[in-house]
Amino acid sequence: MRPPIGHATDRRTALAGGAALLTGALALGDAAAAATTAPATESRAVPVSDYAIFTEFSPETKPMVPGWNRRVFTDTDVRKGDAIQCDFATGAIALAPGLYHITGMSIAPYFSVDDPPEMTTIRAPASAGYSRLRSFDPDFVLAPGLRGIENDDPSIICVGSSTTANLTPSLVEAYFEPQKTAQIILEYQSGSKPDGIYLRVHSENSRWHAMARICIRRI
């Protein structure tokens, strides 16, 4: 029995549509294969941001004074580019305009000449304190004591975590975006009477006692 004319027409249409889909799929497969085997086009290289790490080691013993003490870095661990510069005489770090991610730490120990070799005195209760990171104006005269600049002053970038003078680090982390060249400093305080507490300890004829470190990356 011969099928109705409409049925045959529908069948031919379906077969033609299936062939078209198959041809399209094969074309897509060929294009994908060509994309995977073709050499990659040259892309614009993204420059690596400037970065630097500075450390304050202990070439000599340095007692802490009442109130805020500036960390004065002694060594460059690594540095790339010219956007970040450290003055090892003052501890001030100059930053070119841009956005920076900054992390750092600051520690201080109790110390006396009577401590056994390769040991530090641990006290309880211990003097508490913390570090802070702030923008630095060399023409500004800081008043003595802990209240020379309050922590809510616009110059304060970050207040570090609380710590004690038992070689426990105070940590800072911040983003800083100066619109023009700016200077920053890392400070540390352990109260108004830091008796027996030191910013640096040179003992056993070794300077390799890292007492503060700051890591800065321009992003």
* Averaged pLDDT score across all residues of the chain: 85
Residue 147 is predicted with a pLDDT of 86
Strand, helix or coil for residue 21: helix
Spatial CB neighbours of 73, under 8 Å, sequence gap ≥ 6: 54, 55, 56, 86, 88, 91, 93, 212, 214
Phi, psi of 104 (to 5 degrees): -170, 170
Of the given ranges (36-45, 121-130, 133-142), which has the lowest mean pLDDT?
36-45
The residue behind tokens 């956007």 is 83
Check pLDDT > 60 for residue 52.
Answer: yes
Q: Can you say how many angstroms the Cα of residue 51 is from the centroid of all Cα atoms in its chain?
A: 9
Cβ of 169: how many Cβ atoms within 10 Å? 17
On whether the pTM is more than 0.85, the answer is: no
How confident is the model over 101-136, as pLDDT tens digits?
Answer: 999 999 999 999 888 988 888 999 999 999 999 999
State which H helix or E strand residue 138 sits in: none
